[in-house]
Each structure stands twice: as structure tokens, then as C-alpha cells.
Amino acid sequence: MCTYRTERVIVEGSGKGPDGWFELKSATVYFDHPVSAPMEHSLNIDFINPGMGPSARVAVELGRDSALALARAINLLVGEAPVS
């Protein structure tokens, strides 16, 4: 079921697009109908650099269980990482 809720997050990192690696500036996260994934609804994440135009985008569509597993893995690993 679509939530019609969108979260935008400032991020720091890199993504790889059709023209190679580029700096990421933000991520948009929402639960909606996927464009490509073979499921009714997915957690969609768009990593982007708005200043570089539409090709500076990495899109991800995950099923609910996959999204929850990814969130758990991220929380576990980042929680164990030393603070620098």
C-alpha cells in the first residue's frame, strides 16, 4: 500500500551512474509502486546530485522484507563502526 510519504535526506558519498562515479548529495525515500521491480509496492530510494542533472541518479526498488533486512544490516554495521 502506498504511503504517499516521502523522506528526503542529505547524504555524503558516491554513486555510479551511466557516466561513471559521481558525488551524492541527497536521497529520497518513499514506499510506492515500483517502475521495474516485479512487485505491487516497493521501498524506493533515489540517490541524487541535483546539481549534475538527471543522469546523476541511482535508483533502488526493494521489497518490504529486503528493505527491512537492509535497514537492520546498516544499523548493525554502522553501530559497530568506530567513530571517526
55 Cβ partners below 8 Å, 6+ apart? Answer: 17, 18, 19
- Is 19 part of a structural domain of the chain? yes
pTM of the predicted model as reported, rounded to 2 decimal places? 0.87
Among the listed residues 28, 21, 20, 24, the one whose alpha carbon sits nearest the alpha carbon of residue 11: 24
DSSP state of 40: S
Query: What are the pLDDT digits (tens) for 52-67?
Result: 998 899 999 999 999 9
In a domain, residue 37? The reply is: yes
> Does residue 55 sit within a domain?
yes
Position 11 scores a pLDDT of: 97
Q: Supply the range of the domain harboring residue 35.
A: 6-80
Query: In the chain, how many domains are there?
Result: 1
Average pLDDT for the chain: 93
As a whole number of angstroms, the distance between CA 12 and CA 34 comes to: 25
Q: What confidence tens digit (pLDDT) does each residue in 20-33 have? A: 999 999 999 999 99
1 inside domain: no
